[in-house]
Amino acid sequence: MRLSILFGVFGLLIGSFVNVLIYRLPISKNIVFPRSSCPHCGRVITWYENIPLLSYILLWGKCRSCHGPISIQYPIIELINGVAYCFLASNYVLQGELLPLVLRALIFSLLTAHIVIDLRHQLLPDGINFFLAIFFFILSILNEQWVMGLYGMALGVALPLLVTYLFYLVKGVVGLGGGDIKLFGALGLFLGPLGIIQNIFFSCLLGSIMGLALILVKALKREKPIPFGPFIITVAGFQIYFPEYFKRLLTLIF
């Protein structure tokens, strides 16, 4: 329990960095320098004003200098990340699997950043996809499945490319962005060929259902695209973190 709590605190710290990625990557800003500053008055934020979750509470969600509002996104991302790390630690530390725990935790953080960035900017940054690929490949090596992982990566890139090309021939528009295809490739390193096919199928199904629902309630125009990354990641989340529940879903459907 103590280790889970400590790892949860570590998750809060990483969650703070996830917020940096969410803000800086879409505008191509260095993720290390300069130090974070208030978006309203520009004052550099001190270390004690940047303590995950706690600083937001003590500052009442406002800048200490100009009293401009601090986005609620920051504590929410930090809290989600901390809780997720605590949950993961309770499952993996007991088994003595420290490296897989750290990798899966960092992967969760990167996928969280991907979701928020894609929802806001319809962008899946290459830098995040690159590190996801590295972490997934290390996990596949630890699982002694790296050969199947390479096949999964190849299929994860080739199949979406083929679908995108056919969609372009029929509709005259590009169906998937480059970031989506790279994300499929990175996921394939861990999921393998069968897993990535399942992900492509269910993410397309989930995206179609959600898109149709938004159109029916008139929250989305038919011709307006919706970010696809969150659907890929939602399905991948079940495959990576809840594999038994995902297998049960497969048995119910097929």
Answer yes or no: do 92 and 1 share one domain. Answer: yes
Mean pLDDT of 108-115: 98
Q: Which pair of structure tokens corresponds to residue 242? A: 């809840």
Do 88 and 205 belong to one domain? Answer: no
Q: How far apart are CA 21 and CA 126, in angstroms?
A: 12
Over its C-alpha atoms, the chain yields an Rg (Å, rounded) of 20
Cα 108 to Cα 15: distance, rounded to the nearest angstrom: 10
Q: Looking at residue 32, what is its pLDDT?
A: 86
Tell me how far apart the alpha carbons of residues 223 and 56 are, in angstroms, rounded to a whole number: 40
In terms of domains, do 157 and 247 share one? yes
CB-CB contact of 82 with 12 (8 Å): yes
- Tens of pLDDT, residue by residue over 211-253, are 888 878 766 666 677 899 999 999 999 999 999 999 998 988 8
Domain count, the chain: 2
Residue 43 and residue 2 in one domain: yes
What is the pLDDT, as a whole number, of residue 50?
Answer: 84
Looking at the fold, whether 205 and 80 belong to one and the same domain comes out as: no
- Give the closest residue to 31 by CA, choosing from 115, 104, 117, 99: 117
Q: Do 81 and 8 fall within a single domain?
A: yes
pLDDT band for 176, please (50, 70, 90 cuts): confident
Q: Has residue 113 been placed in a domain?
A: no
Tokens of 73: 């996104």
Element (H, E) at 190: helix 178-216
Residue 14: inside a domain: yes
Same domain, residue pair 133 and 211: yes
The answer to the question of residue 112 being in a domain is no
Give phi and psi for 180, each to the nearest 5.
Answer: -60, -45
Contacts of 20 (CB under 8 A, 6+ apart): 31, 36
Helix (H, G, I), strand (E, B) or coil at 222: coil
Residues 71 and 152 in one domain: no
Residues 43 and 8 in one domain: yes
**Rounded Cα–Cα distance for residues 18 and 233 (Å):** 16
Spatial contact of 81 and 110, defined as CB atoms under 8 Å apart = no
Check whether the bond before 34 is cis (ω within 30° of 0).
Answer: yes
> What domain range is 185 assigned to?
123-254
Name the average pLDDT for the chain.
Answer: 90
Kindly state whether residues 41 and 151 are assigned to the same domain: no
Signed CA dihedral, 252, 143, 81, 219: sign only: negative
Confidence of residue 174 (pLDDT cuts 50, 70, 90): confident
pLDDT range class, residue 90, cuts 50, 70, 90: confident
Looking at residue 95, its pLDDT comes to: 59
pLDDT higher than 90, residue 44: no
Do residue 57 and residue 133 come from a single domain? no
Question: Which one is predicted more confidently, 126 or 3?
Answer: 126
**Residue 104 in domain:** no
Sign of CA dihedral 235, 241, 245, 251: positive
User: Could you tell me if residue 17 is inside a domain?
Assistant: yes
Q: Is residue 174 part of a domain?
A: yes
pLDDT class of 38 with cuts at 50, 70, 90 = confident
pLDDT digits (tens, 9 = 90+) for 114-140: 999 999 999 999 999 999 999 999 999
Q: What would the pLDDT profile of 180-214 be if each residue is shown by its tens digit? A: 999 999 999 999 999 999 999 999 999 989 888 88
- What was the pLDDT predicted at 91? 78
Co-location of 131 and 250 in the same domain = yes
- Residue 214 falls within a domain, yes or no? yes
